[in-house]
């Protein structure tokens, strides 16, 4: 099956995260014996948020899909000991099924005047942030050239004489029209190598990482207002599938399309969960459209597969948290009060997760298989069928929503680890929190592109006056 | 029909085939660069029809025919007669307006037509007179090819033309001057005109003839049977008439700290260009490609760059095409290709070999092992020759180089082509061995 081989190519060595070929028995980079892959750390899957439900239980195997509202036992009002749920989001009333057309709420007023704080901003491209050698330079990345902005003093000398940007690698050559230094030949940092964006209380950071030659992740963040005037925040993160052609274009197209879809649907009163479903469909259409276009950068792509990417998104309103995803990018919930349990809110579209969910294999057996990390769902023209997963939560306390690619969660897999890594003030300083998380992945080796978006919950900060 | 508004230079394009992915610590970048010149016609079609010019027109050109008139040309007498006929056929193939001359070569060079250090301009009358003059060609004397080339150079320099070309025919060894004299003559003529060389019969030295063609960026071949000369000369002249632009150079830029390991033409024949570099500004050098008609050639470029960290990308070479000008500048022909290096820890990416690079690496090795095998065979090392020629059979078979495989089969008995198991033939026609040696550098292109 061609699909399977493509997926298998995405699985990674459990020891060093080296990408593996489907037939590998040992990791080509570190020699890790892949036949002895240990079980992934038990991580309460999506629905058992309060830890009261064993992972193997029926409800836990169900995808948190809206048409099948979570079964009762999975959502106890309190913990097994009768105490109130420890910071766990509780399920909302069953949302409208995503297949049903979004019926505008009766209260929607299309003639609503613009609300100053809640108008959907036009989303400019994420601003590239030059990697500064001055402040945010992690100590373990000495002198890696893309991090460093040209030294203005050196740059000034040669630029004035040569009349063009000066190379960041050798600081001696001019950069030619193709983006290479005419002296040392080094490719210059690209816009997408490192991106940061802050929009309202939502912040996102994306980094190329240390081992990949380009950033195939993309994100989009935005804020808007619901028809009742309360704010809604949106974060979308996409991870291009490296074995496909032009994965960077796929992730960019998907994140933009989903973001635009949400920002236009939410103010119209579409239920956030329905809006998320529609946004994923819109993103899939955008990626599918890429497959028809001629390969502009054919030499960049050793394989010729349809462009593909994963998607994960979160919408945060005053009382509701909606997530949606396809693929293995994830959403984590981390309460501000760290004594309350954190949780992973998504369930990977991966081979192992499917095997476990279908009851065909135990978790240990499934994750020991070499196909464990192959993704089984993605956006792209060659996807089997689009199966957007969405879920709604009503967290009972403030927290921060972590929307990320596997470039981050590879280094903080369980919800507990994620909660340990994220700064305590992430809900207040989300951009700083996102930078710290990206730094954590880079410190761990940065084997993949790293992208993380942080959305504080609830949308209206506690104590702040309602809009 | 004629497109006068168009520049007289064909459209050039450069395509690069490579695997840009390198493992950590590696720095050798290999790429096949395909250079294609099109004047609006189809590639590979009859070069006899220049596409930039209406029929009968073409760029200004001058051709000197050098015909061996040494004493050996009379043994057998048909050789001289065939040479005369072949030269006449070549003259018939001259386009009107092309400057030309005929030189008779012995231990000295004599102008046969038109004489007095001039070139004739081809038309019905001059073509007729030249053919008349050929009747005066007679055999007698020695062989000093260097003197022929120097005379041809003087004659070609007398006309202000775009394309300068020579056609040289010899039947014997260059016995009446030292190899140094010939080399000095070749060095003096290199870059001033291009020259095709042909050996007729089997008494000539393969390395001399291929050396002349190689130095003067032309073709070399054997015409074992003098009867085949006329057709071959006509073909050569038609090719020469198809040339539209001369003195094209491949300009190679490489980054600081990089070394160019080699640059060689790999199709249609293997031709080493590494040592012919002339510096052209900082970190750039020019490699001569000769004159071009409607055609496509492949070059193998190997550059060693300083390794960078994983995830980094570097431009390892920038390939462009230029025509160096006398004032030191260069006319850029527009086309360029980029050879890149990307360091990755993805072993699948970094260990795969580009099919084009693999193919031409094999073709270059094929030419090499044929030469080595024939040298060993001449030196009496039967085992060494068997091993080398066996490898050659294997390479020719794998790469689908059927012509070379056929030539090899005349020198060795092929037991198993796939494994390269061969036996040396006890008796080999001299013509077959010389044909194999002369044509050993012919390559086939990658099957698409």
Residue B118 burial (10 A CB sphere; 0-12, 13-18, 19+) = middle
Q: Do the first three CATH levels of B61-242 and B355-438 match, i.e. the same topology?
A: no
Q: Does domain B355-438 have CATH number 1.20.120.1690?
A: yes
Q: Please choose, from the candidates A346, A388, A352, the residue with its C-alpha nearest in 3D space to the C-alpha of residue A370.
A: A352
Delimit the domains of chain B by residue range. 11-39+246-350, 61-242, 355-438
Q: What is the reported pLDDT for A163?
A: 57
Q: What are phi and psi of A421, to 5 degrees?
A: -75, -35
The pTM of the whole model exceeds 0.90? no
- Average pLDDT on B360-386 reads 93
pLDDT digits (tens, 9 = 90+) for A318-358: 889 999 999 999 999 999 999 999 999 999 998 888 888 88
Kindly report the nearest CA distance between residue B202 and chain A, in angstroms.
48
Is pLDDT at A80 greater than 80 in this prediction?
no
**In the block, residue with structure tokens 């030619």:** A176
What structural domains does chain A harbor? 33-103+114-130+191-457 (3.60.40.10), 132-188 (no CATH)
Contact B315 A170 (CB under 8 A): no
Q: What is the DSSP letter of B87?
A: H
The pLDDT-based confidence of A143 (bands split at 50, 70, 90) is very low
The pLDDT-based confidence of B301 (bands split at 50, 70, 90) is very high
Which range has the worst mean pLDDT, A46-50, A88-92, A208-212, B161-165?
A: A46-50
Which range among A146-155, A328-337, B72-81 has the greatest average pLDDT? Answer: A328-337
The pLDDT-based confidence of B214 (bands split at 50, 70, 90) is very high
Is pLDDT at A95 greater than 60 in this prediction?
no
Give me B427's structure tokens.
């008796």
Residue B415: half-sphere exposure toward Cβ, Cα within 13 Å: 12
Q: Which residues contact A416 (CB under 8 A, 6 or more apart)?
A: A341, A342
| ipTM passes above 0.85 | no
Q: Hey, is the C-beta of A21 within 8 angstroms of any chain B C-beta? A: yes
- Report which of residues A37 and B358 the model is more confident about: B358
Is pLDDT at A386 greater than 70 in this prediction?
yes
Q: Hey, is the C-beta of B19 within 8 angstroms of any chain A C-beta? A: yes
**Contact at 8 Å (CB) between B102 and B112?**
yes
The pLDDT-based confidence of B52 (bands split at 50, 70, 90) is very low
Is pLDDT at A40 greater than 60 in this prediction?
no
CA–CA separation, B316 vs B337, rounded Å?
A: 11
- Average pLDDT on B31-41 reads 81
CATH superfamily of B61-242: von Willebrand factor, type A domain (3.40.50.410)
- Average pLDDT on B250-273 reads 93
**In the block, residue with structure tokens 């192959």:** A374
Q: What is the reported pLDDT for A157?
A: 44
- Report which of residues B174 and A373 the model is more confident about: B174
Q: Please choose, from the candidates A182, A191, A243, A241, the residue with its C-alpha nearest in 3D space to the C-alpha of residue A217.
A: A241
CA–CA separation, B233 vs B90, rounded Å?
A: 5
Q: Which fold has domain B11-39+246-350?
A: Immunoglobulin-like (2.60.40)
Closest residue in A to B354 (Cα) is A302
Q: How far is CA A113 from CA A118, A466, B110, B138, in A?
A: 11, 17, 99, 105
Average pLDDT, chain B: 88
The pLDDT-based confidence of A20 (bands split at 50, 70, 90) is low
Is pLDDT at B432 greater than 80 in this prediction?
yes
Kindly report the nearest CA distance between residue A70 and chain B, in angstroms.
41
- Average pLDDT on B362-380 reads 93
- Average pLDDT on A156-166 reads 54
CA–CA separation, A94 vs A98, rounded Å?
A: 11
Under DSSP, is residue B430 helix (H, G, I), strand (E, B) or coil?
Answer: helix
- Average pLDDT on A420-449 reads 93
Is pLDDT at A162 greater than 80 in this prediction?
no
**In the block, residue with structure tokens 């991106």:** A195
**In the block, residue with structure tokens 């009747």:** B135
Which range among A7-11, A123-127, A138-142, A367-371 has the greatest average pLDDT? Answer: A367-371
Burial track A318-339 (b if 16+ CB lie within 10 A, e otherwise): eebbbbbbbbbbbbbbbbbeee
CA–CA separation, A191 vs A215, rounded Å?
A: 9
- Average pLDDT on A264-273 reads 94
The pLDDT-based confidence of B34 (bands split at 50, 70, 90) is very high
Kindly report the nearest CA distance between residue B44 and chain A, in angstroms.
26
What's the maximum distance between 2 C-alpha atoms anywhere in chain B?
Answer: 72
Q: Hey, is the C-beta of B344 within 8 angstroms of any chain A C-beta? A: yes
Q: Which residues contact B419 (CB under 8 A, 6 or more apart)?
A: B394
**Which residues in chain B touch residue A186, judged by CB atoms under 8 angstroms apart?**
255, 308, 312-315
């Amino acid at each position: 099956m061609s699909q399977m081989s493509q997926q298998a190519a995405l699985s990674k060595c459990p020891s060093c995260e080296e990408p593996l070929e489907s037939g590998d028995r040992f990791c080509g980079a570190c020699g890790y014996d892949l036949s002895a892959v240990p079980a992934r750390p038990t991580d309460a899957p999506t629905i058992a948020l309060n830890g009261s439900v064993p992972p193997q239980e029926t409800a836990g195997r169900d995808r948190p899909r809206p048409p099948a509202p979570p079964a009762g036992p999975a959502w106890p009002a309190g913990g097994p000991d009768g105490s109130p749920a420890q910071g766990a989001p509780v399920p909302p009333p069953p949302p409208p099924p995503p297949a049903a057309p979004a019926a505008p709420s009766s209260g929607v007023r299309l003639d609503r005047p613009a609300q100053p704080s809640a108008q959907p901003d036009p989303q400019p491209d994420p601003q590239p942030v030059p990697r500064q050698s001055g402040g945010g330079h992690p100590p373990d990345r000495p002198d890696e050239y893309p991090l460093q902005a040209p030294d203005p003093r050196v740059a000034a000398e040669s630029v004035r004489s040569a009349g063009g940007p000066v190379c960041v690698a050798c600081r001696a050559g001019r950069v030619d029209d193709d983006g290479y230094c005419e002296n040392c030949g080094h490719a210059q940092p690209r816009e997408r190598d490192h991106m940061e964006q802050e929009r309202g209380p939502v912040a996102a950071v994306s980094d190329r990482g240390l081992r990949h030659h380009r950033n195939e992740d993309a994100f989009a963040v935005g804020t808007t207002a619901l028809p009742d005037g309360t704010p809604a925040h949106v974060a979308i993160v996409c991870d291009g599938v490296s074995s496909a052609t032009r994965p960077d274009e796929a992730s960019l197209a998907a994140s933009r399309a989903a973001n635009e879809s949400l920002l236009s649907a939410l103010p119209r009163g579409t239920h956030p969960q329905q809006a998320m479903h529609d946004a994923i469909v819109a993103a899939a259409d955008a990626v599918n459209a890429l497959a028809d276009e001629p390969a502009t950068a054919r030499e960049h792509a050793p394989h010729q597969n349809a462009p593909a990417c994963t998607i994960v998104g979160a919408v945060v309103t005053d009382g509701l948290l909606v997530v949606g995803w396809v693929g293995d990018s994830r959403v984590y919930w981390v309460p501000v009060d760290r004594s309350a349990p954190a949780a992973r809110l998504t369930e990977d579209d991966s081979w192992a997760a499917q095997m476990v969910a279908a009851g065909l294999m135990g978790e240990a057996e499934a994750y020991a298989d070499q196909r464990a990390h192959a993704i089984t769902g993605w956006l792209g023209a060659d996807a089997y069928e689009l199966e957007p997963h969405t879920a709604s939560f009503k967290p009972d306390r403030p927290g921060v929503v972590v929307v990320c690619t596997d470039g981050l969660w590879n280094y903080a897999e369980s919800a507990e680890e994620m909660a340990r890594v994220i700064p305590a003030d992430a809900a207040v300083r989300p951009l700083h929190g996102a930078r710290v998380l990206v730094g954590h992945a880079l410190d761990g080796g940065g084997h993949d592109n790293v992208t993380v978006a942080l959305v504080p919950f609830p949308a209206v900060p506690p104590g702040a006056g309602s809009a | 029909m004629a497109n006068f508004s168009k520049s007289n230079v064909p459209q050039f394009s450069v395509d690069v085939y490579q695997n840009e992915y390198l493992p950590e610590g590696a720095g050798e970048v290999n790429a096949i660069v395909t250079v294609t010149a099109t004047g609006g016609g189809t590639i590979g079609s009859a070069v006899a029809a220049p596409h930039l010019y209406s029929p009968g027109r073409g760029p200004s050109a001058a051709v000197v025919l050098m015909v061996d008139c040494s004493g050996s040309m009379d043994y057998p007498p048909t050789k001289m007669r065939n040479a005369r006929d072949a030269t006449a056929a070549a003259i018939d193939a001259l386009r009107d307006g092309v400057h030309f001359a005929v030189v008779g070569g012995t231990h000295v060079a004599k102008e046969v037509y038109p004489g007095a250090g001039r070139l004739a301009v081809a038309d019905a009358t001059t073509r007729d007179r030249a053919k008349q003059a050929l009747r005066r060609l007679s055999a007698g004397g020695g062989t000093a090819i260097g003197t022929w080339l120097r005379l041809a150079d003087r004659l070609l320099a007398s006309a202000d033309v775009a394309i300068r070309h020579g056609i040289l025919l010899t039947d014997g060894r260059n016995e009446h001057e030292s190899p140094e004299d010939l080399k000095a003559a070749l060095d003096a003529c290199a870059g001033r005109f291009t020259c095709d060389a042909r050996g007729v019969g089997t008494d000539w030295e393969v390395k001399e003839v291929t050396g002349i063609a190689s130095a003067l960026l032309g073709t070399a071949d054997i015409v074992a049977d003098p009867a085949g000369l006329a057709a071959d000369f006509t073909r050569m002249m038609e090719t020469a008439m198809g040339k539209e632009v001369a003195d094209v150079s491949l300009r190679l830029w490489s980054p600081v700290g990089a070394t160019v390991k080699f640059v060689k033409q790999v199709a249609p024949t293997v031709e080493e260009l590494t040592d012919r570099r002339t510096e052209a500004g900082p970190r750039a050098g020019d490699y001569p490609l000769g004159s071009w008609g409607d055609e496509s050639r492949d070059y193998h470029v190997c550059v060693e760059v300083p390794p960078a960290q994983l995830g980094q990308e570097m431009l390892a070479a920038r390939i462009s095409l230029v025509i160096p000008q006398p004032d030191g500048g260069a006319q850029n022909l527009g086309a360029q290709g980029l050879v890149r290096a990307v360091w990755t820890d993805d072993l699948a990416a970094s260990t795969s070999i580009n099919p084009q690079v693999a193919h031409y690496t094999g073709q270059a090795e094929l030419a090499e092992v044929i030469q080595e095998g024939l040298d060993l065979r001449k030196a009496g090392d039967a085992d060494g020759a068997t091993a080398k020629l066996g490898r050659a059979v294997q390479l020719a078979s794998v790469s689908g180089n059927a012509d070379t495989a056929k030539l090899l089969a005349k020198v060795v008995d092929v037991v198993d082509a796939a494994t390269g198991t061969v036996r040396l033939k006890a008796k080999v026609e001299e013509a077959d061995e010389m044909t194999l040696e002369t044509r050993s550098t012919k390559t086939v292109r990658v099957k698409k």
